[in-house]
Amino acid sequence: MIFNTWVYGVFLTCFFVFYWIVPPRGRMAALVVGGLVFYTYYLPLHTVLIVGLILATYGLGAVMDRLRDQETGAGMKGVFTPKTVLVLSLILCLGVLAYFKYLPLLAATFDGLILLLRRGAPYQLPDIVIPLGLSFFVFEFVHYLAEVYKGSVPRGSLCEYAAFGMFFPTLVAGPIKRFQPFLDQLRHPAPFKLEFLSDGLYRILLGLGKKMIIADSMIYFTGPLANPLNAGGADYWVAMYAFAIKIYFDFSGYSDIAIGSAKVLGIRVPENFDRPYFQQNIAVFWNKWHMSLSSWIRDYLYIPLGGNRGTLLFTLRNLIMAMALCGLWHGAAWNFVVWGLYHGLGMSLFRVYRKKGTALINIVEKLPALPVKIVSVLITFHFVCFGWVFFATDLPTAFQFLSLVFSF
């Protein structure tokens, strides 16, 4: 189901009544059933996939737990260790993600090389329908497996884990939630409060307004991003600003609907946006934009790569690699990779400035605070806007668009 449809409105209303009628001990199962109905409506075959992944990742997590207990008790390691099972688990999850989302990109790249070299026949790829919300629930499963490996989450039952994986408000577009905070709410369900309904409906209506009134209306101004040669003058800047408005209100609107839908059920999920366009540097922007993804990238990509535990060059490498993978997560096309590299380069330059630009920092700190803040916000906002051009269209068109912007 898609949030901004009447079908979802009817579904959420019916489920809200059902959920609060069911006794507290049955609400966990109700969430599983609700998630199955919600997901099956889109494409029944893909429900088999997500159910299979839930069973597989839960089982592999249980194996990791048992192996850790055996190692602790016997003080010895066998052929299969928790780390081995973790690697197999990640291969499973990321393999499913790669097959459905990135195989077409690999095939298209391969075909491009064949065409360039004029050798061989193009690879014929069957039509692949990407499961709804695949990137989001795979990242949640990866988080769970990594935390089980570290021993930092309590053991949950299969029903608890299924409720976590099938929680329909966050299933399609996030926010990417964490297992332990969600499990705590499952095990200590809140009694119904009228504020759940009022606060939840407010967030849902706010999200619908953002999406349908503001974001959707920006489509009338973003045309030059797809056809730069059919525009001129200020149209390029209007299109770029309009897309920045569109993508923020579109995505934050969906997040508001998800947060509100969870709220009417008495469940809290992470916030996803906090005035990102009003931040003074690109690092803080990423702490405020798509916050559940940013924290996931930090915890499960940037830090495992080494984080900032090393030389400055080592840190910059990790930043660029993490942001390139962040871009690839957003879409299976090279323009998304370039968008990620662009932000990785921006964050790297800012890191160099903070580490090596002491003289310039001292000069800036002596200037009046308000003008410095305004200029910093404007610079950061425009850096992000130029990056959105790579996000909005393919690489040749993006470079063509930017060349016309700067020539104007």
pLDDT digits (tens, 9 = 90+) for 333-371: 899 999 999 999 999 999 999 888 888 888 888 888 899
Spatial distance between the Cα atoms of 163 and 168, rounded to a whole number of angstroms: 9
Catalytic residue check, 330 = yes
Which of 188, 290, 330, 382 is catalytic? The answer is 330
- Which range among 91-95, 229-233, 238-242 shows the weakest confidence by mean pLDDT? 229-233
Per-residue pLDDT tens for 20-41? 999 988 999 999 999 999 999 8
Query: Percentage of the chain surpassing pLDDT 70?
Result: 94
Query: Percentage of the chain surpassing pLDDT 90?
Result: 72
pLDDT at site 43: 80
* Burial (CB count within 10 angstroms: exposed 0-12, middle 13-18, buried 19+), residue 259: buried
pLDDT at site 225: 94
CA 349 to chain centre: 24
> Binning pLDDT at 50, 70 and 90, where does residue 11 land?
very high
- Which range among 250-254, 328-332, 380-384 shows the weakest confidence by mean pLDDT? 328-332
**For all residues of the chain together, what is the average pLDDT?**
90
Nearest to 333 by CA among 41, 9, 112, 139: 112
Per-residue pLDDT tens for 278-313? 999 999 999 999 999 999 999 999 999 998 888 899
- Which range among 53-62, 173-182, 259-268, 354-363 shows the weakest confidence by mean pLDDT? 354-363
Q: Read off the pTM.
A: 0.91
**Quick one: tokens of 295?**
């924290």
Q: What does the domain layout of the chain look like in residue ranges?
A: 6-189, 198-407
